[in-house]
Structure 1
């Protein structure tokens, strides 16, 4: 009876945590001697009490771990806390955690505690490979007391080498799951063949569940913080862009043009800015544009990114460390805004914004602008579009007015009426000063650009109009040949329709009428095309004998002098007979021998004279076209000066 009371007393003390385990075992063993069944029951009670005490301890540890995890806001800190506490709670040599990589379809080592092998710390586990890969694939716990010889797992050289280098023998792994979302695997391992009990597996599973929840929550908190930061940044960007918009609006209200907007944007960003019109011609600039920048490629890049789906253009990076954005108003592209050289920007190597080395400005890749800077650029493009639109409409109205004025002058037969002269004066044309008239033929798609180019030649004193499929230009001056050459353009091999052919006439006084000059210029341009001289410029006086037929006032004397002048002058100065020899030569069918007979001289004398003539007229004087001109000049010379030899 005493033994039973001692046992009950010890069990009560054991429940309170006061009785040593060896005292309880000694009393239970004594009781077993007299009553084996009572002794066995006593040991069962003790075992149950020890298990309950252990579960209480583990639960307290889990609560403490949850408190530690809740205090961590960084994902890396959470992961290292998990493996450190797992190793301590299970009393293992090593604890480690792998995370799931959805893109690669495997898990990778993310945190370790007790590990010494670098290869083990950087290990990746394909799904289904090794114990960890099987846990990840099946999403159920697995454990083994001796991994190296366990045939249940698909061994790979990489995994076995890393495990062997770490010296791991026994492994237990359990999945990290949150609402069926697989996060990773938590492991506990020993460097000796110690088997894991079901209680160990359950404890590691509880810790894994707690860790998975904490990990997902930490990620979500990080995502939320990032979103809030992005929203704050977006708000700041909007405010900064609004300030920039106000600055651009102030420039416009003060009467500024696109050049002033480019300067305002360049000063805001600290870089260079160029505004190009719809033809790619610079319309405004701030700072030096890099010499090696491929502007044509940048314009194509802007055309590939017309907007963000709402009709608003967006800024996009391009080669050369630059950004480009289309300037659009009313669905019409009016130009392009190009910029770069922003301090502090980085230049990745590609042209598509791909990651690269950082810390350069103006390198081979696109500069990186902040959201606020991008919004500022887009606001600048919007304001630039409005300025260009207003300017375009004003220019269009002025162009139409000037074209109507020129059409009115050209429509007059003879001297224009006083109202027409008054209108010309208002347009800046001095009707009583010499002018030239150009008729330009080009491909229909290029007439508009040609008209704009021609308008720049005469400034406010010139008039341009499209008439009968041609661009007609009135310019102040007295040299039609030089004026026409400024607009003529030959075809290019890659663009056979690029030629511009110009017929010129003048000088004349607009006050005397322009109808005769218009007719002559038209005949000249048609003659150039008929003579297969597209892309050239010529007045009637430049077309040789064809000009004599086309011009209203053919200059026969000037034509003869232009062809034969050097020979006539030589004869007059030296007393030679070169002109007579030339006539005899052609009269003899270009035969020096027969010409010598006609002239009563030796054939060598004729040969010497012809050589001198070639020196005076040029080496091509016997070319069929030039020879025809020379023979015609000889006939006209004889008609104008009979009896001269």
Structure 2
């Protein structure tokens, strides 16, 4: 789909995100970036004025750092003296901005004239001429940094989409603040590098080399080469192998393609010298990006750091990548051609800082993608189906999904607490690779996954369940249901209800595993409308005489009945499938008729038994009818 076909509101939002990201990457002054955020808030949500306020160093006042539409007199009014106290002595000096910062949540004021708890508004609002406002906190990774306040000249109630978009823009402002902080830290490292270079014996040649790497690194950032480009450039600079791992040890990028040497494996990192080096690096508080030299212990015995005969290939360099005090990744340099020079270690530190910037931007874009995916699923799966199907198709296309193609509708539930570090939609999308990326997000208390039916999604479903089980450990039990296939936009809501019904039935009996209900036919109607207890009661009532007889005397009656129904009620086909004589099949079917007191020639009786067997399969088996997935 071309850009001109994307809905205007979505195009405007995506354009705003791209513009702010480019300004951040180009190291535009913080005040200018925050002014961009304020201008987009006015344009996208329909406010007349907007300002981004930051807490001062003492965290006693909020002061404007970027704004749109505000008069110079008003900016001076809220800047001078004790205008906006974060913790005022009483309500006569309180403001919605201060309260949003104190409580860390969005504050909406529909009409300032009736907002009696904010005494200072009686002075501020007439000075600028606004009647309503919205104050949203700026959430930095480790603390609140300030607030974004948007003003309307008319009194108004704020709807959910307006609040959500304001919070997304606040996230953009927080991204700019965190980026500015990281750039400041980067400049400190560069300054330290310059001071250290003057003491090096090689003097000016070493300094020129370091400056060349600095300029090259800055150009890579401006060119937006991404994480893979940064890693390739560092590998070329050092003549070594470079790897970036996330906090769980998954490789995010590596280079070079030819002659690549991986970092030490988990066993090597647990050995004495390597473990000590990494532990000292992680516990350091004064220089979080300092490179650690990690001895690579050979299988024949220990090698001590600095011992005679230790080759460069037996040493790896590790630099932590930190965001907001949290270790989010690690940069490894392995198989260097010689022992590292101090200036080379500083270059690695600078690359680690830029990797942190890249991961921060990726994390924010993932959050935006997740919010938009969740909104799309809510409109797609709503009861009664979507009201504007083509609009949903356009929104999905903007997210890289073609929902006009047939998609399997799957639902995932976890019984038990989920660790805060587990981001399920992101985990599901990553686990589906190398196949098509699914549309995944929360809806109605469940995780919904939409996967194209071509290629067959069975492998992706198995990987998703395996990755979720690995991520949550024993904390919770995941149950995954592969529901019906939706072939048109109105089918998605119905397919979701069927999958949800099968999930409820399975969880009410025994949570965990995979249930496949893709090819139920009329049985899907019962799953869509029945409660778990009613479904189990129906199945027990129809199958109890046969199950009781089989439990006492054997005879494989239920297996024979299941096969006979699935083969179109063919005695010959059933005999061939079970490798028995056709007379044996006829005898067993006759015994079933005696036990239930009804004739199998009655199509209604056959339908009831088919439904009962379907319910029995979901409750008792690891996979349901027509199973094509497994654990």
TM-score range for the pair, normalised by the shorter chain length: 0.3 to 0.5
Q: State the TM-score, normalized to the length of structure 1.
A: 0.45
Q: State the TM-score, normalized to the length of structure 2.
A: 0.46
| Larger RCO, structures 1/2 (Cα 8 Å, 6+ apart) | 2
Larger Rg: 1
